[in-house]
Amino acid sequence: MLWLIPLILFVMLMGIGIDYNIFILTRIREEIHKGKETKEAVVDAVDWTGGIITALALIMAGAFGAMMLSSNAMLQEFGFALTVAILLDAMVVRTYIVPAGLAVMGKKAWWAPGRLQREGREEKMRKRSEKKQ
């Protein structure tokens, strides 16, 4: 059964990591839609969401850390791995790596194929409807 631990941990940590990423990326996107440049939006978003993400990480790390008190070896492994990974994700990845990557990439971080881009979609649809009339 111990061979399943890495697989289960991977799936759980991806879900948790995506959750934190949604918080920060949504806030960055909101700041960009307000007219800010990407770097300024990243700084404001990290300032705004940093405390929330850190608090959530500490709560989850505490909950998963309690699993280390179990007498079951598998639960102890899960507890340790999840606690360390959550703290590392929230304190290093979401605080430094994701914002730095987005700031370096600038507008390229938000690239999407033409039909998936939101910016300008409403205008294109309005022009199409005007042509039909």
Q: What is the 3-state secondary structure (H, E, C) of the chain?
A: CHHHHHHHHHHHHHHHHHHHHHHHHHHHHHHHHCCCCHHHHHHHHHHHHHHHHHHHHHHHHHHHHHHHHCCCHHHHHHHHHHHHHHHHHHHHHHHHHHHHHHHHHHHHHHCCCHHHCCCCHHHHHHHHHHHHC
Q: What's this model's pTM, rounded to 2 decimal places? A: 0.73
Residue 100: is its pLDDT beyond 90? yes
Which of the two residues, 132 and 120, has the higher pLDDT score?
Answer: 132
Q: What is the per-residue pLDDT across 23-61, written as a single tens digit (0 to 9) for each?
A: 899 999 899 889 898 899 999 999 998 888 899 999 999
Query: Rg of the chain's alpha carbons, rounded to an integer?
Result: 20
**pLDDT at position 110:** 78
- Give dist(CA 131, CA 133) in Å, integer: 5
By CB neighbour count within 10 A (0-12 exposed, 13-18 middle, 19+ buried), where does 77 fall? middle
